[in-house]
């Protein structure tokens, strides 16, 4: 029996020693757990945030018109190509004028004939007035009869009517001549201003009808614009004169400036959106109609928000989130209302005040009311 006790004694001693070491290790761990956690803080900033409304549109001239002939006919010649720059007054195309010239000549002859008719009617009127005066004198001397006087008066009235009809005929002939001249003048297409031929829709020797477009013309006298469509919830935040920023793929490293020049007063019946026209400052760069632009329009109102680094966020559910603030060297888990993410920052509507110290490094090791050491 003594021998067994003697053999077991070293085992108990070893167990006691191991137990003592474990207790000491646990105490060391507890000390480490209770040590303040090292954190880095940053103060929350107050910002006046201006929302940007995003839309995509196509660049165009603010004055794009379809140029056409007033009358139909065969195209004689087209003098410009698609994409060509033209000057105001430059001849762009014309019709074959044989038929139209014949109409003009016919109208001129009609005017000349009407003028001759007026002269003849005036001569007849002069004769009728003279005859009426003579018959009136003879009638007063009892030489002419009442019937002869009445016949003379009838001839006078008829001559007056003939002159009036001739004058009316001349008026109609002059109007016909003006129409023929107008059609002749508009059988040629003239550039209405300095600009570009955006599209060429017909070729020489083709037959075109009256008003059928031959060119799509963009005026250089007018600014270039982008027309975009926005929904009703965004149109209410846009005002005339609002500034805009435009990006084109052709210039990936350059931001063009713009300004809202026009807005629709009613929605498109098919899309339910509102058209907004943004004038673009070309800044000396070559911008062509048809470029697709990404437009960012500044909203009309600013909002007072709080900005903190996104690294401060330790949890979120939709627009609700949590951050750690520090007060008296103690981390406090604080709920915040998230408005939006802006790059590497968070914009908050509620939960923090300007100057609040938030943890931006070390937050992952914190719990509510943890002691912290500020680095």
Nearest 5°: the CA angle 32, 33, 39 is: 95
- What pLDDT is recorded for position 3? 47
Q: Can you state the angle between helices 98-140 and 146-185, rounded to 10 degrees?
A: 160
Distance CA(149)–CA(145), nearest Å, equals 6
Reported as half-sphere exposure (CB side, CA atoms, 13 A), residue 371 has a value of 6
Q: Which residue has the higher pLDDT, 102 or 268?
A: 268
Distances (CA, A) of 113 to 108, 119, 171, 174, 231: 9, 10, 12, 11, 65
7 has a pLDDT exceeding 70: no
24 has a pLDDT exceeding 90: no
| 83-99 pLDDT, tens digit each | 888 888 889 998 888 77
Per-domain residue ranges for the chain?
37-48+304-374, 54-62+222-302, 64-95+188-221, 98-186
Q: Is the dihedral of CA 190, 195, 201, 204 positive or negative?
A: positive
| 51-65 pLDDT, tens digit each | 888 999 998 876 777
- What pLDDT is recorded for position 256? 94
Mean pLDDT of 280-305: 87
Residues 6 or more apart in contact with residue 107 via CB below 8 angstroms: 173, 176, 177, 179, 180, 181
Distance CA(258)–CA(253), nearest Å, equals 16
Distance CA(362)–CA(331), nearest Å, equals 11
Name the one residue in this structure whose structure tokens are 């990404």. Answer: 294
Distance CA(295)–CA(256), nearest Å, equals 9
What stretches of 34-145 show up as alpha helix (H) in DSSP? 98-140
- What pLDDT is recorded for position 280? 92
- What pLDDT is recorded for position 12? 47
Taking alpha carbons only, the member of 252, 215, 245 closest to residue 228 is 245
3-state SS record for 256-318? EEEEEEEECCCCCCCCCCEEEEEEECCCCCCCCCCCEEEEEEEEEEEEEEEEEEHHHEEEEEC
| 205-250 pLDDT, tens digit each | 888 888 888 888 877 656 688 999 999 989 988 988 889 999 999 9
The pair phi, psi for residue 355, each rounded to 5°, is: 90, -5
- The overall average pLDDT reported for the chain is 83
Distance CA(140)–CA(133), nearest Å, equals 11
End-to-end CA distance of the chain: 65
Long-range own/partner contacts, residues 265-274 (CB < 8 A, 24 or more apart): 267/232, 268/229, 271/229, 272/231, 272/232, 273/229, 273/230, 273/231, 273/232, 274/229, 274/230, 274/231, 274/232, 274/235
Pairing between β-strand 188-190 and β-strand 207-208 as defined by DSSP bridges? unpaired
Q: Which residue has the higher pLDDT, 14 or 37?
A: 37
Distances (CA, A) of 269 to 217, 264, 273, 275, 306: 28, 12, 8, 12, 40
Whole-model pTM: value is 0.47
Fold of 37-48+304-374: 2.40.420
312 has a pLDDT exceeding 80: yes
| 354-370 pLDDT, tens digit each | 888 888 888 878 888 88
Helix (H) or strand (E) segment spanning residue 344: none
Distance CA(129)–CA(204), nearest Å, equals 61
Mean pLDDT of 65-77: 84
Q: Exposed, middle or buried by CB within 10 Å (0-12, 13-18, 19+), for 25?
A: exposed
| 326-343 pLDDT, tens digit each | 888 888 889 999 988 888
- 64-95+188-221 domain in CATH 2.40.50.100? yes
| 125-172 pLDDT, tens digit each | 898 888 888 888 887 877 778 888 888 889 889 988 988 888 888 888
Mean pLDDT of 278-303: 88
Percentage of the chain lying above the pLDDT 90 cut: 13
- Give yes or no for a contact between 77 and 206, defined as CB atoms under 8 angstroms apart: no
191 has a pLDDT exceeding 80: yes
The pair phi, psi for residue 151, each rounded to 5°, is: -65, -40
70 has a pLDDT exceeding 70: yes
Where residue 8 falls among pLDDT bands split at 50, 70, 90? very low
Both tokens assigned to 71: 């009358």
Q: Which residue has the higher pLDDT, 342 or 320?
A: 320
Mean pLDDT of 13-34: 49
Nearest 5°: the CA angle 253, 254, 255 is: 130
Q: Exposed, middle or buried by CB within 10 Å (0-12, 13-18, 19+), for 359?
A: buried
Architecture per CATH, domain 54-62+222-302, reads as Beta Barrel (2.40)
């Amino acid at each position: 029996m003594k021998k067994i006790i003697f053999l077991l004694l070293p085992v108990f001693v070893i167990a006691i020693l191991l137990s003592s070491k474990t207790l000491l290790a646990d105490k060391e761990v507890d000390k480490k757990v209770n040590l303040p956690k090292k954190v880095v803080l940053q103060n929350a900033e107050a910002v006046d945030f201006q929302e940007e409304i995003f839309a995509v549109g196509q660049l165009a001239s603010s004055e794009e018109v379809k140029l056409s002939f007033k009358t139909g006919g065969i195209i004689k010649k087209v003098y410009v190509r698609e994409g060509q720059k033209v000057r105001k007054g430059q001849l762009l195309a014309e019709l074959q004028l044989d038929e139209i010239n014949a109409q003009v000549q016919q109208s001129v002859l009609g005017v000349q004939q009407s003028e001759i008719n007026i002269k003849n009617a005036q001569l007849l009127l002069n004769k009728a007035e003279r005859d009426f005066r003579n018959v009136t004198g003879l009638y007063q001397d009892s030489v002419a009869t009442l019937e002869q006087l009445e016949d003379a008066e009838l001839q006078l009235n008829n001559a007056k009517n003939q002159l009036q009809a001739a004058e009316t005929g001349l008026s109609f002939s002059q109007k016909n001549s003006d129409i023929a001249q107008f059609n002749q003048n508009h059988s040629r297409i003239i550039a209405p201003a300095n600009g570009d031929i955006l599209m060429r829709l017909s070729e020489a020797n083709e037959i075109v009808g009256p008003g059928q477009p031959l060119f799509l013309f963009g005026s250089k006298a007018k600014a270039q614009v982008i027309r975009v469509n926005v929904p009703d919830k965004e149109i209410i935040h846009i005002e005339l004169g609002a500034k805009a920023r435009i990006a084109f793929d052709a210039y990936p490293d350059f931001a063009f400036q713009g300004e809202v020049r026009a807005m629709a007063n009613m929605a498109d019946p098919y899309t339910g959106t509102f058209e907004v026209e943004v004038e673009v400052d070309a800044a000396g760069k070559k911008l062509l109609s048809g470029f697709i632009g990404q437009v960012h329009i500044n909203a009309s109102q600013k909002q007072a928000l709080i900005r903190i680094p996104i690294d401060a966020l330790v949890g979120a559910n939709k627009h609700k989130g949590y951050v750690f603030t520090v007060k008296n060297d103690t981390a406090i888990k604080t709920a915040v209302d998230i408005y939006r993410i802006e790059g590497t920052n968070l914009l908050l509507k509620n939960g923090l005040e300007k100057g609040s110290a938030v943890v931006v490094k070390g937050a992952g090791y914190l719990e509510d009311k943890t002691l912290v050491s500020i680095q």
